[in-house]
Amino acid sequence: MDGTALYQVVAAVFLTQVFGIDLTTGGLILLTATVGASLGSPSTPGVGIIILASILQGIGVPASGIALLIGVDRILDMSRTAVNVTGDLTACIVMNRWLGYKHA
């Protein structure tokens, strides 16, 4: 989920530069706050682009800018999702063993 959060910030800053939009201090603070929201994103494919659309709308970037990222987003999204799911499963196994639960 950290990868998704970082990707969204980098993509948002990239799109502000593409569209020639000056990112104000308030916009940077909003981006920082949305990183926290992105950390709670589910480990399912395609969710990152939806969260990115809401971030872009919040900082004044046209949501049509997502079209520039769609070509590479799928490959990056699959990689991020695989890492997120692996991390979630690892955390479940560690907690299961730490609490001493037995297999069924």
pLDDT tens track for 35-69? 766 666 666 777 778 888 888 888 888 888 888 98
CB 51 within 8 A of CB 6: no
Residue 104 above 60 pLDDT?
no
In degrees and rounded to multiples of 5, residue 69 shows phi and psi of -100, -15
Question: How confident is the model over 15-42, as a mean pLDDT?
Answer: 80
* Per-residue confidence (pLDDT) for residue 60, from 0 to 100: 87
Element (H, E) at 97: helix 70-99
